[in-house]
């Protein structure tokens, strides 16, 4: 082994400086994050002792860090629970209500939306405005979204809450840095950088941290709040059709974050022209406007109108939804054959139409996925409810708060 230069030992240990101080600082931050995560991710409110057991930190360290997180408004103490054995009653901990909030924003083809969630996951503000945004002007639409968000931020701050940041969901290709929308065919937008255009600010004028993400990917993350396996494929049905691939509770982003474009998987090369320029894409069989028109409704009608027709046994609506389900099923069977996934979550329009489309999709997947006889694929409706990308976006902001709570305490 080569000799390494040594320095003479000092008589008295000096307080850590430079790299050593920074290491200690980093360790403290990391422990703070460990404690915050242990409480945030627990299924039942844990006590300080439970957190110590889960993190491997000492009781004393956990107590100091919990006090800091409680004072900073990230955690709250619940009324003490008297222990069965002798000793002090345990104080269960949970994320704080209505203190720090994450903001989900969305521009989609037929609505704009804002939704704020607090650390326990409650919706504390929401604004959704519907109306067609086909071939819209990005500057004008983003200014409208800024007004919508500014109203929500003022309301939240007026109620004593702090906005930790925002995630903007968009129906198109967004780069992995979360800054640039390359293309959103159904909006008619390309090469847009929405964050400077939004220029979102807190009440005191300081800029808010905003990142952009694909709407299907954020909607997929919203499912993680519920009872879903750690790996699954999420399909978001709207005017466009997108997908989010979740592996071990993390999004799989591909090389540049541009994966999941299942709406442009070819169903029939001789099929109708798609907004992307190609022909016979899945969107032209299973996109929301195609479903509405097939059922004899205007493209601006709500999906509930299709549901009404399906309930009444309307032949055109039934045939259109069956055709959409078969197209979706064959695209998904290809996906299952390629990547081996056991759970498919149908969201957006497909969650609303699940009673008619779910078994069709499941049937085609079973028919076409080679491994289906050995590993049945569970096709289920999404649980996160309407405009799930807003919830997923808000949750992402809060996840980043919990991962680095030192900034907020
Ligand atoms: Zn296409």
Question: How many Å lie between the centroid of ligand 1 and the Cα of residue 262?
Answer: 9
Distance CA 164, CA 336 (A): 37
Distance 267 CA to ligand 1 centre (A): 10
CA of 289 to the centre of ligand 1 (A): 14
What is the tens place of the pLDDT at every residue in 65-85?
999 999 999 999 999 987 666
Taking only the tens place, the pLDDT of each residue in 280-329 is 999 999 999 999 999 999 999 999 999 999 999 999 999 999 999 999 99
- Among 19-28, 111-120, 136-145, 330-339, the least confident range: 19-28
**CA–CA distance, 238 with 320 (Å, rounded to integer):** 15
> 130: CA distance to ligand 1 center in Å?
24
Give the Cα-Cα-Cα angle 150, 204, 65 (nearest 5 degrees).
105
d(CA 331, CA 328): 5
Q: How far apart are CA 163 and CA 130, in angstroms?
A: 24
CA distance 190 to 179: 13
Mean pLDDT of the chain: 93
Separation of CA 266 and ligand 1 centre (Å): 8
Within 56-202, residue ranges assigned H as helices are 59-71, 138-158, 194-198
Three-state SS at 324: helix
Dist. CA 238–CA 386, nearest whole Å: 11
Distance 401 CA to ligand 1 centre (A): 37
Residue 30: the pLDDT is: 94
Distance (angstroms) between ligand 1 centre and the Cα of 282 equals: 7
Q: Quote the pTM value.
A: 0.90
* Cα angle 186, 189, 193; round to 5: 135
| Residue 200 tokens, joined | 């979102």
Mean per-residue pLDDT, 33-56? 95
pLDDT at residue 160 greater than cutoff 60: yes
pLDDT score, position 22 = 74
Q: What percent of the chain has pLDDT over 70?
A: 95
Confidence of residue 20 (pLDDT cuts 50, 70, 90): confident
Distance from the CA of 276 to the center of ligand 1, in angstroms?
A: 4
Give 240 Cα–ligand 1 centroid separation in angstroms. Answer: 9
- What are the pLDDT digits (tens) for 316-367? 999 999 999 999 999 999 999 999 999 999 999 999 999 999 999 999 999 9
State whether the Cα torsion 64-70-75-80 is positive or negative: positive
> How many angstroms is it from 273 CA to the middle of ligand 1?
8
Q: pLDDT-derived band of residue 12, with 50, 70 and 90 as boundaries? A: very low
Phi, psi torsion values for 63, nearest 5 degrees: -60, -45
């Amino acid at each position: 082994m080569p000799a390494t230069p040594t320095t003479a030992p000092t008589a008295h240990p000096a307080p850590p400086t430079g790299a050593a101080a920074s290491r200690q600082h980093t360790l403290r931050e990391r422990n703070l994050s460990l404690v915050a995560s242990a409480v945030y991710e627990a299924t039942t409110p844990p006590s300080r002792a439970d957190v110590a057991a889960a993190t491997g930190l000492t009781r004393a360290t956990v107590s100091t860090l919990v006090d800091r997180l409680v004072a900073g408004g990230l955690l709250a103490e619940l009324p003490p629970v008297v222990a069965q054995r002798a000793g002090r009653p345990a104080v269960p901990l949970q994320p704080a209500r209505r203190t720090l909030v994450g903001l989900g924003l969305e521009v989609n083809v037929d609505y704009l939306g804002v939704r704020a969630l607090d650390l326990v996951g409650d919706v504390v503000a929401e604004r959704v405005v519907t109306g067609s945004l086909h071939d819209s002007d990005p500057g004008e639409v983003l200014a409208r979204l800024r007004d919508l968000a500014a109203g929500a931020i003022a309301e939240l701050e007026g109620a004593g809450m702090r906005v930790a940041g925002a995630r903007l969901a968009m129906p198109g290709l967004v780069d992995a840095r979360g800054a640039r929308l390359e293309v959103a065919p159904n909006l008619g937008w390309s090469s847009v950088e929405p964050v400077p255009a939004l220029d979102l600010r807190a009440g005191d004028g300081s800029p808010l941290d905003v990142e952009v993400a694909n709407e299907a990917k954020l909607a997929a993350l919203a499912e993680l709040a519920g009872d879903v396996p750690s790996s699954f494929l999420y399909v978001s049905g709207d005017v466009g059709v997108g997908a989010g691939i979740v592996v071990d509770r993390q999004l799989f982003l591909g090389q540049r974050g541009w994966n999941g474009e299942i709406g442009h998987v070819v169903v029939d090369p001789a099929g109708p022209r798609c907004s992307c320029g190609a022909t016979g894409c899945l969107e032209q069989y299973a996109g929301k406007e195609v479903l509405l028109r097939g059922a004899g409704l205007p493209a601006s009608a709500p999906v509930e109108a299709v549901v009404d027709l399906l309930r009444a046994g309307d032949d055109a609506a039934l045939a259109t939804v069956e055709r959409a389900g078969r197209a979706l099923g064959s695209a998904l069977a290809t996906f299952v054959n390629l990547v081996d996934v056991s759970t498919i979550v149908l969201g957006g329009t497909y969650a609303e139409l699940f009673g008619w489309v779910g078994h069709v999709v499941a049937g085609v997947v079973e028919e076409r996925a080679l491994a289906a006889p050995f590993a049945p694929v569970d096709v289920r409706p999404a649980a996160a409810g309407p405009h799930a990308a807003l919830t997923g976006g808000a949750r992402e902001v809060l996840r980043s708060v919990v991962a680095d709570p030192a900034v907020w305490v």
